[in-house]
A and B are shown apart, each in its own frame.
Chain A
Amino acid sequence: MQLPVIGRQVAQPSEGGCSASGCGGSSDHLSHLPQSIRDKVRDHPCYSEEAHHHFARMHVAVAPACNIQCHYCNRKYDCANESRPGVVSELLTPDQAVKKVIAVAAHIPQMTVLGIAGPGDPLANPERTFETFRQLSEKAPDIKLCVSTNGLSLPDHVEALCQHNIDHVTITINCVDPEIGAKIYPWIFWNNRRIKGRRAAEILIQRQQQGLQMLTERGVLVKVNSVMIPGVNDRHLEEVSQVVKAKGAFLHNVMPLIAEAEHGTFYGVMGQRGPTHGELQSLQDKCAGNMNLMRHCRQCRADAVGMLGEDRGGEFTMDKVEEMIIDYEAAMRERAAYQQVALATLEAQRKPAGEQRIPLTALGGRKRTPRPMLVAVATTGGGVINQHFGDAREFLVYEASPMDVRFIGHRKVERYCGGGSSSGDGESVLQKTIAALAGCEAVLCSKIGYEPWEMLEQAGVAPNGEHAMEPIEQAVSAVYAELVAKGRRRDAAGEEIFLQAGT
């Protein structure tokens, strides 16, 4: 079966004026899909942006071995403070992993999804990976099972994946051109040999594409992850998006390169930079013209636990899990009840498809449209503004325009409250946060202290605590409408807009 994919024709808003099919993307961007597919992703935090406000996931680190080397990866296993794919604190056996999943599912009612994502490649460790899946499909039948792979071994395991009811698979595809691949993958292990250079990339690309096609033919939902590496594959990823869409991939997740010298990766040590927020957004917008695009990925660790923006792994180390006494039947009922309410909340927060955020009457007789604005939001989940500015470890960024409010991405920050006021290099935590919010013109939170309020205002970011507990998109929309009505927005030509609401 060929899966439908999202194209421009279905994601268009009722009026023009937005550059990409990302319009409407933050609301019900899956509305055109068949019910069977919507049911598969509506509570999957990694496949649906709106689901990620309400549902949680976990990864179990059962798959240490890898069959390729990527220039952005160095698999240290003992770092608790780094959050990036490929890093874990504790490697688990399948039996331990199953215990941990049961414990987490009993304590975190939001949990719907279990993924195996490393720290190596799950399909380079097929016995451990499939033993974990086999036990879980028996013992935790309400949990969705997912796997993430580099694709090299994928064609060999498609049948097994289908047998284990794995209906969400993520393939990391950074290129479809072996010249570019040779700059990303120094080697692969293939047919009992280490193969380097262009030939290695050729084989990997062929296997990824073959695996993708085999999965979509069998009705498995496939998400494609791509790492954006400026100067290496940034110009190439639009083509990747087109190719994977044509093969039936459901969602494309373009992620920024994470590269620091202390990670010991090739890119980190060689000084390869990651993309800026603007560069990433611009590429995501271009790829969104081709297909359904994911912007809410947090590039989590291979042992992450909890909602996407948080990591509660520390509460579920194996020594703690071994001590827990769990009534799984009861926990499963509690979880089902919680999730029913969460789905209802999610439905209620969703605006009707095609509805315009800002009533056109508010724009009066203006010829030119006000330009869009970025708004940062502090939330702990639930789809509402419910976090104190100083408690936030990340801000979600939304773009408001007269047409719509759409989710753009997230900005990681250090927690302002409770942490040190200075981080050693002379720059305060608050200054760093304000720098991380570059481009945002307002920040919405449940409360905010006097000091950050003043500094944000000075930096041109309007703090706003008036929309606490309101659904995010409605609040962002209201703030934008308010600013437009006050005439503080400049239009695309940079001219100040002077207009009154309703005139």
Chain B
Amino acid sequence: MAYQIIDSCVNCWACEPLCPSGAIHSAQPHFFIDRNRCNECDGEHVEAQCASICPIEGAILDRWGVPANPPGSLTGIPPARMRAAMAEIRSR
């Protein structure tokens, strides 16, 4: 069981110092979680620390590959609204 960081990570360093297992490392192109060290903060914290401070929706996946912070959950922007705004910008 482990979390993972995917390519939408913006390398902001917020998660790295919080990991109680020392499982998070800076890397290229983005931060990376050592699967062998990550214990999902079990026994350490109520919530997985990396997923609790990460500012980017979808950048951290849980053990089932599900985004810990799904679209809209952090920014408050409804996903449909975001898609419409992005489509409008691309069409300019």
**Which residue numbers of A lie inside 8 Å of B, CB to CB?**
64-67, 69, 71, 75-77, 91, 120, 124-125, 127, 186-187, 189, 192-194, 261-262, 265-266, 269-270
Contacts and interface: CB of A to CB of B under 8 A. Distances in A.
Nearest to A195: B52
25 contacts: A65-B13, A65-B17, A66-B12, A67-B14, A67-B53, A69-B74, A69-B75, A71-B75, A71-B76, A75-B55, A76-B10, A91-B11, A125-B13, A189-B14, A189-B53, A192-B18, A192-B46, A192-B52, A194-B53, A261-B85, A261-B89, A262-B89, A266-B75, A269-B82, A269-B85
Contacts of A124: 14
Contacts of B13: 64-65, 120, 125
B47 interface: yes
A120 B12 CA distance: 8
A174 to B, nearest CB: 16
Given A193-B52, A269-B77, A269-B85, A75 B12 contact: yes
A296 to B, nearest CB: 30
Interface residues of B, number: 23
B88 interface: yes
Contacts of A193: 46-47, 52
Interface of B: 10-14, 17-18, 45-47, 49, 52-53, 55, 74-77, 81-82, 85, 88-89
Given A192-B46, A192-B52, 16 more contacts: A64-B11, A64-B14, A65-B17, A65-B53, A71-B75, A77-B10, A91-B11, A120-B12, A120-B14, A189-B53, A192-B47, A194-B47, A261-B85, A266-B75, A266-B77, A269-B82
Contacts of A269: 75, 77, 81-82, 85
B34 to A, nearest CB: 20
B76 A266 contact: yes
Contacts of A69: 55, 74-75
Contact of A77 (B11, B17, B49): B11
A271 to B, nearest CB: 9
B76 A186 contact: yes
Contacts of A187: 74
Contacts of A64: 11-14
B75 A186 contact: yes
Nearest to B82: A269
